Amino acid sequence: MSPLSRRQFLLTAGSSVAAASLLAACSSPAPQPTLSPTDTPTSTPTPTPVGPPDWAALQAQVKGTLVLPADPTYGSVKLTENPRYDDAQPLGILQASSAADVAAGLAFATKYALPLAMRAGGHNYEGWSAGGAAGSGVAPSFVISTATLTDVTLSQDQSTVQVGAGASLAQVYNTVGNAGRAIAGGSCATVGVTGLTLGGGVGVLVRAFGLACDQLTGVEIVTADGTVHETSATTGEDLFWACQGGGGGQLGIVTGLTFKTQAAPPVTTWYVEWPWSAAADVIAAWQTWAPSADNNLWSTLKLLGGETHQGDPSVSVSGTWIGDQGDLSTQIAPLMNGVSASPSTNQSFQHTYVDAMMIEAGCQNTPIAQCNTGPGWSLTREPSSGTSNIGYTTLDASGISDLLAQVTAAQNVSGMTEGGISMDALGGVVATVDPSATAFVHRKALMTVQYTATFAVGADPAPFDAYVRGFRTTMTNHWQNWAYVNYCDATVPDATTAYFGANLPRLTQLKQQYDPHTLFTQPQSF
């Protein structure tokens, strides 16, 4: 049998992509001496800008590259992963080479009172990392980018891996997997590991390995006063806790992360598709089975319409299994038995860990140096809209009916390439952690839910935004207002409560402590 197509195995669960991808912070007018990670930053008055920014002085101070609008590389360097934000005109882009460069950039932004945007992977759903795109709610800004901090280095005993803040998932998987080790993360090759992890990090092995943030052992983060904190569960505990699901754009700019690894298991990928007439049965069966299945089994349920689905939309369940391949049919039997119709497709394939991760990332048989977007690389940027829910309950007949009506409506949205819903199973080891133990609060949820729409470059995004947000509004009647910070949406009511729930007060206190003058004012700062 041939491998699954990218469309069939587009496991979107961790692509996300809080692609402002930095837990951001403000700074004082100049980098300060490094303090102990447990010291409390000293509050200083908000400075008055001293005049026009002296960009030449900043370039002389840093070892990284400062890109300004007049520079020939500006047009390409300013781009993020979503072409809908290509009209952004940031004031300048600092491609930081180190934590010291980040501290210098923060001091510069404060000195001249510049609006500030942060970027690593560049996947932020609302375009906040673009530095001033139309419709993003962000003014033209000075962008501090950690995208060039891409080193991925295993420890001598391979039990941990140090990752630069700009490394993509594909880069991490390649280095770790080729050494016979593994971590769990998302399925989009170009997503930055920093943004994924800071928002929690749902991925394709999440029920067996935990969230990406659960695998953290250390975070290097530059806070408002220019201090470089080396944090862990025992040093700088509050900042480390916030980095485990507190989202991007809040307390400091992350420049490096350390993850624990484990022996790489063989991974069986599987894909089952049914006729659209079976969709209601599939939803009912999946939602009661997937979150409580064996911890070694993860799955995503996708119902998708649009121009790539002529006639009826599609309904499919795909996933990963890291147990014995011969046991897979037993593991998915409750799902199969819950659907009266026979599947139109039922496939499974066994891979090494690294091959499975590359397949999910859309980079099968692609050299890692080309597993990216842009000139000379193999992947293509595509405009998209997205939003989310967190599902704590199963849907009743009314909820299933509403969901199916919304997917069917995608067939009537002119210009939509593909749109619909992905429901990604939680449970497993994620649910064994207390919701207050990390900033990621949704430990007891059954699933994360993502509403998406893709469309052509240059198309007006308004009808596609209206589709995904209308879908969310309908389903919020069944799942309440909970949402996933990595799939940020500026229109979510009371968004910080939706993202962080009972952990919001602690995050707010840390914001007041580490960003007392609120230099970082992305639209959904807590």
% of the chain beyond a pLDDT of 70? 91
Q: Which residues contact 72 (CB under 8 A, 6 or more apart)?
A: none
Residues 450-498: pLDDT tens digits? 999 999 999 999 999 999 999 999 999 999 999 999 999 999 999 999 9
- Residue 329, H or E segment: helix 328-337
The CATH code belonging to domain 267-502 is 3.40.462.20
Residues 260-299: pLDDT tens digits? 999 999 999 999 999 999 999 999 999 999 999 999 999 9
pLDDT at 361: 80
Radius of gyration (Cα) for the chain, nearest Å? 22
What's the whole-number average pLDDT of the chain? 90
Select the more confidently predicted residue: 192 or 3. 192
Cα(189)–Cα(126) distance, integer angstroms: 20
What are the phi and psi torsion angles at 160 (to 5°)? -135, 160
pTM of the complete model: 0.90
What sign does the CA torsion over 211, 215, 218, 220 have?
negative
pLDDT at 47: 56
Q: How far is CA 491 from the centre of its chain?
A: 18
Residues 186-216: pLDDT tens digits? 888 889 999 999 999 999 999 999 999 999 9
Q: How many CB atoms lie within 10 A of CB 2?
A: 6
Q: What DSSP line would sit under 478-522, residue for residue? A: HHTT---GGG--TTSTTHHHHHHGGGHHHHHHHHHHH-TT-----
Q: For the chain, what are the domain ranges? A: 267-502
Residues 95-135: pLDDT tens digits? 999 999 999 999 999 999 999 999 999 999 999 999 999 99
Q: Which class for 196: exposed (0-12), middle (13-18), buried (19 or more C-beta within 10 A)?
A: buried
pLDDT at 166: 96
pLDDT at 30: 28
Q: Which residues contact 259 (CB under 8 A, 6 or more apart)?
A: 160, 161, 163, 183, 212, 215, 216, 217
In angstroms, what CA-CA distances link 378 with 366, 392, 407? 8, 38, 30
Q: How many CB atoms lie within 10 A of CB 513?
A: 16
DSSP state, residue 34: P
Token output for 11: 């496991």
Cα(45)–Cα(355) distance, integer angstroms: 53
Cα(396)–Cα(426) distance, integer angstroms: 19
- pLDDT score of 171 more than 90: yes
**What mean pLDDT is predicted for residues 175-195?**
93
Cα(228)–Cα(221) distance, integer angstroms: 6
368, HSE (Cβ side, Cα atoms, 13 Å): 17
Cα(280)–Cα(105) distance, integer angstroms: 53
Q: Which residues contact 201 (CB under 8 A, 6 or more apart)?
A: 14, 184, 185, 186, 211, 212, 213, 486
Q: How many CB atoms lie within 10 A of CB 444?
A: 14
In angstroms, what CA-CA distances link 206 with 226, 472, 483, 492? 34, 24, 18, 25
